[in-house]
A and B are shown apart, each in its own frame.
Chain A
């Protein structure tokens, strides 16, 4: 039975490869000319929110990251992303805006592939479930303080929330630790590279205004 058995093993490899080429390799080929940005390149553009974080929590910030510069920003981003992965935030929040269901009105500009071609999307964090809102246009939607308060107790700022509190991002006195600052820096970075995010859904008046 060696021959026949081998035939099925080979069939398995061949069908796998066929699917892999069609669904995996071709997209890679399509995007082969998109440059892959390294973390060092990304961290050159420091968003305003990160500078503010240093002003909002000077003591904690200095202890965690030192000065505001690309190196410390890079450190904050990769730490924040690690927290995002470890806590499974990506099972409750997606990171892409679709061109349908009015998502551009709700969240902001529709996602494009270039935005994701970087070291912080290795692996990509697209996500497949939204219990909370999409986060790829999160930068600047809320203040740093809002985020810090939100991570301490989501229901203090959003009473209906089912997001878990993350008390271990805080020390005994309730001051944010390195993880809290890092995850805040990370969510405030998401989408900081696109032009002003429309605020429609959080501001119904603005939406009404736009319609007039």
Chain B
């Protein structure tokens, strides 16, 4: 008897999904507090002066690493554990392995957190995970892929749905990218070529791990919630292959005008502009799907999170195509503009998708309807207003910094004139933190309600 037909084993391991969601939310709380602390440094009010382990530079690395490996990775694992068995009608390889991976991954996060604060960060942007953590991550990734690829390979469904293309490609990409970025510049390739690889790592981590899993989950959740198929299969195909082809060849755009060979810089610029064209097809496909069901933007909160995230995606990609040009780089590189861009991508897009996913999944994994939909709505608006204004503020501040530098003003000017932007950034951060606080309270209150006679799937949050 195969596991799929065994009545004892559920298709989706709900407890495991729940555990990953809780871990993701915990990491989110840590990253918000770390971001807030570092933002206070820019206002000269750092709350923990004189404590080496809470040195602002270290706290910044905790902020970004918790975003990538804590918040996003955990939520994505939860999404994969939810989506893949449903798409393939087969459970993951082993629940025991699933739990092993869960605990191993949280162990990795704790080691990363303590390692960075203890002064063992690795000098690879986004790969600051200490050197002794890197092999663990690689083993964890291999186990994860084994566990999750199994149902895809063994499915008896006809054909593979779009989501699974993205997931499979991401399974191949993530480990390769992680190995390349954490090992090559660290041990074998110094100087400018090493920087090219480090740039490739920064880019691929977003492009070949976060992006494909994010889009794969959107291809899963959106048709499900809208109760209609994706608009165009042809566009799905173009989108996938376009992203797979162009995304991996843009790394050097993080170091334009640097000593990396100019042809590699030109190549990165061209590939970056090319992918924006591809990305438009994906966006069109999703808005084509929404067409005729746009009432869902009002009535269905997860859909609202997903589509606002997609609008942000369109905005990021437009921004990318502009800021990647060598001309615009002269002004905006090294400034807060880039930080604004990073928040728009990591939070405005993928963070929003994760929030939508949590709103959708949490009632199902705790078996209770949401405690309060008003709190959910408040969470959405506070976060959206906070995120959008943070992005606008940082972009504007970045322009001010860039032009002041180019005009040879004293460095002091670029700092002093940035202060209002940095204050405003902190305030927008507080809005996000407030919204998130409401959300976490709502999650907690939902979980501790008495169990109702509950019909799974019936209580997707109606706002």
Which residues of A are in contact with B by a Cβ distance under 8 Å? Answer: 1-2, 4-6, 8-13, 15-16, 18-20, 22-24, 26-28, 30-31, 34, 36, 85-92, 94, 96, 98-103, 105-106, 111-113, 115-119, 121-133, 155, 158, 160-162, 164-168, 200-201, 204, 207
Which residues of B are in contact with A by a Cβ distance under 8 Å? Answer: 41-44, 46, 49-50, 52, 55-58, 60-61, 119-125, 149, 152-155, 157, 159-160, 164-165, 168-173, 176-177, 180, 184-187, 189-200, 202, 204, 208, 244-245, 247-252, 254-255, 257-261, 263-264, 267-268, 329-331, 333-335, 338-339, 402, 405-408, 410-412, 415-416, 422
The reply to whether A91 and B57 form a contact with Cβ atoms under 8 Å apart is yes
From A34, A123, A165, contact of B185 by CB (8 A)? A123
| Distance between Cα atoms of A126 and B190 in the complex (Å) | 11
| Distance between Cα atoms of A90 and B185 in the complex (Å) | 16
Most buried by A among B42, B180, B264: B264
**Closest chain B CB from A99 CB (angstroms):** 6
For this complex, 9 residue pairs linking A to B, each with C-beta atoms less than 8 Å apart, are: A8-B165, A8-B169, A13-B176, A15-B245, A86-B58, A88-B58, A118-B190, A118-B191, A164-B41
User: Assuming A18-B248, A166-B55, what are 5 further A-B pairs, CB within 8 angstroms?
Assistant: A19-B251, A23-B250, A96-B259, A122-B186, A124-B198
**Closest chain A CB from B205 CB (angstroms):** 12
**Closest chain B CB from A5 CB (angstroms):** 5
Residues of B within 8 A of A167 (CB): 49-50
| Distance between Cα atoms of A130 and B330 in the complex (Å) | 13
| Distance between Cα atoms of A103 and B257 in the complex (Å) | 11
Residues of A within 8 A of B416 (CB): 160
The reply to whether B185 and A130 form a contact with Cβ atoms under 8 Å apart is no
The reply to whether B168 and A5 form a contact with Cβ atoms under 8 Å apart is yes
Residues of A within 8 A of B407 (CB): 102
Question: With contacts A96-B258, A164-B57 known, is A201 near B334, CB below 8 A?
Answer: no
Question: With contacts A16-B176, A102-B408 known, is A124 near B208, CB below 8 A?
Answer: no
Residues of A within 8 A of B405 (CB): 101, 103, 106, 130
The reply to whether B180 and A20 form a contact with Cβ atoms under 8 Å apart is yes
**Closest chain B CB from A86 CB (angstroms):** 4
From B46, B191, B408, B410, contact of A113 by CB (8 A)? B191
| Distance between Cα atoms of A31 and B264 in the complex (Å) | 12
Question: With contacts A12-B172, A23-B251 known, is A5 near B152, CB below 8 A?
Answer: yes
| Distance between Cα atoms of A85 and B411 in the complex (Å) | 23
In the complex, what residue of chain A is closest to B267 when comparing beta carbons? A22
| Distance between Cα atoms of A203 and B26 in the complex (Å) | 50
Residues of B within 8 A of A204 (CB): 410
The reply to whether B176 and A31 form a contact with Cβ atoms under 8 Å apart is no
In the complex, what residue of chain B is closest to A34 when comparing beta carbons? B191
Residues of B within 8 A of A116 (CB): 190-192, 195, 259
From A5, A22, A118, A168, contact of B264 by CB (8 A)? A22
| Distance between Cα atoms of A196 and B191 in the complex (Å) | 23
| Distance between Cα atoms of A118 and B264 in the complex (Å) | 21
| Distance between Cα atoms of A125 and B60 in the complex (Å) | 16
| Distance between Cα atoms of A27 and B414 in the complex (Å) | 34
The reply to whether B192 and A27 form a contact with Cβ atoms under 8 Å apart is yes
From B56, B58, B255, B338, contact of A126 by CB (8 A)? B255
Residues of A within 8 A of B331 (CB): 101
| Distance between Cα atoms of A164 and B59 in the complex (Å) | 12
From B149, B193, B261, contact of A5 by CB (8 A)? B149
The reply to whether A113 and B251 form a contact with Cβ atoms under 8 Å apart is no
**Closest chain B CB from A64 CB (angstroms):** 18
Question: With contacts A12-B169, A106-B408, A168-B52 known, is A31 near B192, CB below 8 A?
Answer: yes
Residues of A within 8 A of B195 (CB): 116, 124, 126
The reply to whether A31 and B267 form a contact with Cβ atoms under 8 Å apart is no
In the complex, what residue of chain A is closest to B174 when comparing beta carbons? A12
The reply to whether A122 and B56 form a contact with Cβ atoms under 8 Å apart is no
The reply to whether A98 and B244 form a contact with Cβ atoms under 8 Å apart is no
From B119, B192, B197, contact of A86 by CB (8 A)? B119
| Distance between Cα atoms of A140 and B244 in the complex (Å) | 48
The reply to whether A26 and B264 form a contact with Cβ atoms under 8 Å apart is yes
The reply to whether A124 and B190 form a contact with Cβ atoms under 8 Å apart is yes
